[in-house]
């Protein structure tokens, strides 16, 4: 089959999926496989059909049933009342569905989907994906340890990041990770030294910076020469030539990643088109196993709730969104001739729309110009709006009727930047009402802090009609458990009482 025939076939497959001719839609939970028909695999409670047809664009499991907002078959109001707020809630079905769609879309090439743990490193999330055969993109020894703790395989881990310590490199070598994604020649020399000392062969892949502008937020673009990541495209062949002379290194592949939250396939295509000839030349010299094209596929933040309905993906707005099928249709014809394993490193695409942050309204404060909805969640729980000016759709857990009110949704932290929305038309809410901040499964709890001595939020995983706490709410005393006064400071007995 020619490249052109392959591409045409995949475009036809994607078109049929979007038109509903071949789409199978969302997979519900099943505890056991059904009999007869095609083969199925069951992992983490989700039955996934074998790859026979393209599926429609990704959907999620947060939707209203009557007036109440549900995650799968569980009422979010019930979870908020049972576990308190702020509370993160994750849908196992959505995690599994998103991973499976991407995994199946890349089926025509040998590949490994390595989930980018920096987006969400909760053990329940990792265990779900490990059960589906996921690899893991890690950026610290701690993340590798999380993979192991969750029952994942460190041999399916890649280790990225610009500042790996000798201890972290040694940890990766002792656990036989799949590859180090190397960011500099100094790092190559360090890995070589550590591997020599441990009498290990270190698998490495240098990260090439293709100088492609992803057209995304300045703080999450990584593929230009203005960024700290990777080695300039023009220098890569010389770097590999010098690396080949270093002891105890195995030049296993080449890696790139141009940025996050990309909603257009064009930057991906341009980067792959530019780098593939380089991969071919290096492969002839060094005998590669793989080429990693990184992650970066974006998600729907607005309208997050509507995008959970498969019908939305047939609207004009839905048809513009980058899907796994369109991604694969564009890139597979470029990658297939390499004959190498293709690694992907998605994070947000898998977890973003799989999570929501629940919060309680504490006060309504009206000024001459503003209607402030003051909630118990804060920037220490979800920093993205303050840090990136990011949009998260905010909806009540119980539907409200009537006109909307232009509101600022703010937290209790003593910072003007502690907000989730400004001048947002919202239903009229009052003290004690619960709200959900949608699309909060990526870069939410994982970026949480204890600023203002606020405990880390609890996290819950939902599986069909079941739910379980997968991170307990942090007791406030734990925040300072490892602190102590200096020996010369006079101890004074506290006069207050614990809140516990």
> Model confidence over 338-372: pLDDT tens digits?
999 999 999 999 999 999 999 999 999 999 889 99
Mean predicted confidence (pLDDT) in 400-414: 96
Q: Is the pLDDT of residue 215 over 70?
A: no
- The residue among 222 and 486 whose pLDDT is bigger is 486
Given CA atoms 327, 107, 27, 134 in this order, what sign does their dihedral have? Answer: negative
Closest CA to 160 of 228, 95, 215: 228
404, 406, 409, 412: CA torsion to nearest 10: -120
- Confirm whether 348 is domain-assigned: yes
What is the model's pTM?
0.85
pLDDT at residue 50 is higher than 60: no
136 is a domain residue: yes
Q: Cα dist. 110→343, 361, 399 in Å?
A: 9, 49, 46
pLDDT of 161 over the 50 cut:
yes
Find out whether 262 and 214 touch, Cβ atoms under 8 Å: yes
Distance from C-alpha of 208 to C-alpha of 439, rounded to nearest angstrom: 31
The mean of the pLDDT values for the chain is 87
pLDDT at 228: 62
Look at residue 98 and tell me if it is in a domain: yes
Residue-range definition of the domain harbouring residue 74: 3-29+38-160+299-353
Mean per-residue pLDDT for 306-312?
A: 93
Position 373 in a domain: no
Q: Considering the domain boundaries, does residue 469 fall inside one?
A: no
Mean pLDDT for the stretch of residues 166-182: 98
- Mark whether 414 is an active-site residue: yes
**133 lies in a domain?**
yes
Cα(95)–Cα(103) distance, integer angstroms? 12
Calculate what percentage of the chain has a pLDDT beyond 70: 83
Split into its structural domains, the chain has a count of 1
The per-residue pLDDT for range 68-121, each reduced to its tens digit, is 999 999 999 999 999 999 999 999 999 999 999 999 999 999 999 999 999 999
Establish if 394 belongs to a structural domain: no
Confidence class for position 227, pLDDT limits 50, 70, 90: low
What percentage of the chain exceeds 90 in pLDDT?
A: 79
Angle at 76 between CA 72 and CA 79, to 5 degrees: 115
Catalytic residue (one of 71, 114, 157, 414): 414
Q: Tell whether the model's pLDDT for residue 385 goes beyond 70.
A: yes
Q: How far is CA 492 from CA 225, 480, 485, in A?
A: 55, 17, 11
Place of tokens 């099943």: 30
């Amino acid at each position: 089959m020619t490249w052109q025939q392959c591409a045409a076939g995949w475009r036809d497959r994607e078109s049929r999926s979007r038109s509903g001719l071949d789409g199978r839609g969302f997979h519900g939970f099943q505890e056991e496989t059904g009999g007869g028909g095609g083969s199925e695999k069951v992992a983490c409670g989700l039955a996934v059909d074998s790859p026979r047809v393209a599926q429609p664009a990704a959907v999620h499991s947060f939707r209203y049933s009557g007036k109440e907002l549900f995650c799968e078959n569980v009422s979010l109001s019930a979870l908020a009342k049972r576990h308190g707020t702020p509370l993160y809630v994750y849908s196992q079905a959505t995690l599994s569905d998103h991973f499976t769609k991407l995994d199946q879309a890349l089926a025509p090439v040998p590949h490994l989907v390595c989930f980018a743990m920096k987006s969400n490193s909760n053990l329940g999330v990792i265990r779900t994906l490990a059960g589906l055969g996921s690899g893991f993109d890690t950026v610290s020894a701690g993340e590798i340890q999380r993979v192991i703790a969750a029952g994942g395989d460190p041999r399916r881990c890649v280790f990225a990041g610009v500042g790996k310590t000798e201890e972290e490199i040694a940890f990766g070598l002792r656990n036989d990770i799949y590859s180090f994604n190397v960011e500099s020649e100094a790092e190559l020399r360090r890995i070589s030294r550590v591997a020599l000392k441990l009498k290990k062969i270190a698998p490495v892949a240098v990260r090439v910076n293709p100088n492609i502008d992803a057209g995304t937020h300045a703080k999450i673009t990584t593929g230009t020469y203005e960024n700290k990541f990777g080695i300039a495209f023009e220098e890569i062949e010389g770097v590999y030539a010098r690396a080949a002379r270093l002891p105890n290194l195995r030049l296993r592949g080449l890696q790139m990643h141009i940025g996050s939250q990309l909603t257009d396939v064009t930057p991906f295509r341009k980067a792959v088109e530019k780098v593939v000839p380089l991969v071919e030349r290096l492969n002839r010299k060094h005998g590669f196993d793989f080429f990693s094209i990184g992650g970066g596929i974006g998600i729907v933040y607005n309208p997050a709730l509507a995008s959970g309905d498969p019908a939305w993906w047939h609207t004009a707005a839905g048809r513009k969104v980058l899907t796994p099928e369109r991604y694969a249709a564009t890139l597979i014809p470029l990658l297939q001739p390499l004959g190498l394993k293709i690694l992907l490193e998605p994070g947000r695409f898998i977890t973003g729309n799989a999570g929501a942050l629940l919060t309680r309204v504490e006060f309504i404060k009206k000024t001459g110009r503003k209607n402030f909805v003051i909630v118990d969640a804060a920037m220490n729980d979800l920093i993205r709006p303050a840090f990136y000016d990011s949009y998260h759709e905010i909806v009540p857990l119980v539907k409200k009727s009537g006109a909307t009110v232009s509101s600022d949704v703010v937290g209790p932290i003593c910072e003007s930047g502690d907000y989730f929305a400004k001048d947002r038309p919202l239903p009229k809410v009052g003290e004690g009402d619960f709200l959900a901040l949608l699309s909060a499964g990526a870069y939410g709890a994982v970026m949480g802090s204890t600023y203002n001595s606020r405990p880390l939020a609890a996290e819950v995983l939902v599986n069909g009609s079941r739910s379980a706490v997968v991170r307990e709410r942090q007791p406030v005393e734990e925040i300072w458990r490892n602190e102590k006064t200096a020996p010369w400071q006079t101890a004074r007995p506290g006069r207050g009482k614990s809140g516990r």
